[in-house]
Amino acid sequence: MIYKLQSNRVRRTYLGGKRIEKFTNVTDEKPLEALLSEDWTASVTKAFHGVVEIEGEGLGRTEDGRLVKDIVGDELKILVKLLDSAERLVIQAHPTVPFAKAHCNCDFGKTECWYFLDCGEDACVYLGFKKGVTRKDWEEVFESQDIPKMLSMLHCLKVKTGDFIFVDGGVPHAIGADCFMIELQEPSDLVVVSERVTPSGRVLPEKKLHMGLGYEKMYEVYDYTGYDEDELRQRFCPAPKDLGNGAWEILGEDLTDKFRMVRLEGNAKIAPGKRFTVAIVTEGEGKFCGVPVVKGDRMLVEEEVVTTEGGDDFKVILCI
């Protein structure tokens, strides 16, 4: 069964979203100041803002209006997003599963990964501490809010269209401006933030900084492992693997047990091994499990074997 999905724009703290509209050919009618810089695809996760919440915000729906969570129950243990950054995101980190279970009353952390669909010429991301950074250093720079110094403690990696980066729980990071991506993650909205004010001047509520846990617990979320750049790239920037039958594994079980990502090209075939998966057509047009699809289509998939039919320019990202 293939369920095509509605647009599901979600408020964030950073500017962006225009490339989501271009990619999906869906213009959101909400005002620009709503900061609708993400689209949560097939989401069973509610959004957290640290302030007033909108009932049900974040939960995805099929084209016929059904809530995704009513279809999948508890069998979809991922969250897939389209994310478009018109400015740098704040420096942040996400809990691991053990921390989330112990302190957040949640069975999921927020390990994530990024597949870049379109990048500006100067696009970059900040990822992982450099060698020698300690928790004491991080506490001091948080108190001073010396943002250039904060950024200097992280590695800055240039990114381009087609790149992929994995981000384990606890690893500090910040997506730079001018990045449009698919983000695959655990199904939570748990985050701690190092900057009190966003790059475009929005003051963040205290609860958004530390998830309501207080600053002492906030510092415990960060993984203070230090890397040189070669170590960082080896750990978090895997090369795709040819699985045959037109399928390329972008992220596999050698890096995480949380989820997988596969790119299908042209005439492809794969058995996902999960009852429900999520698919996004990133290039061209063709058939997905016999259903006609075009670039920008997003689908909840309930199929034992997934197939694509199309030319060499037809590409689909499958999130498993």
Q: Can you tell me the distance from the alpha carbon of 188 to that of 47, in angstroms, rounded to the nearest whole number?
A: 8
Q: Can you tell me the distance from the alpha carbon of 32 to that of 148, in angstroms, rounded to the nearest whole number?
A: 28
Q: Can you tell me the distance from the alpha carbon of 286 to that of 169, in angstroms, rounded to the nearest whole number?
A: 36
Mean pLDDT split into 10-residue runs, the chain, 320 residues: 96 93 82 76 87 78 97 97 97 98 97 98 98 98 98 98 98 98 97 97 94 96 98 97 97 97 98 98 98 98 98 97
Return the number of other C-beta atoms located less than 10 Å from residue 142's C-beta.
19
Closest CA to 183 of 101, 276, 250: 250
Task: Encode pLDDT of 60-75 as tens digits.
Answer: 999 999 999 999 999 9
Asked if 287 and 316 count as a contact pair (C-beta separation under 8 A), the reply is no
Task: Encode pLDDT of 283-316 as tens digits.
Answer: 999 999 999 999 999 999 999 999 999 999 999 9
pLDDT of residue 28: 67
pLDDT of residue 124: 98
Closest CA to 159 of 128, 117, 198: 117
pLDDT of residue 50: 62
Left (φ > 0), alpha (ψ -120 to 50) or beta: where does 253 sit?
alpha
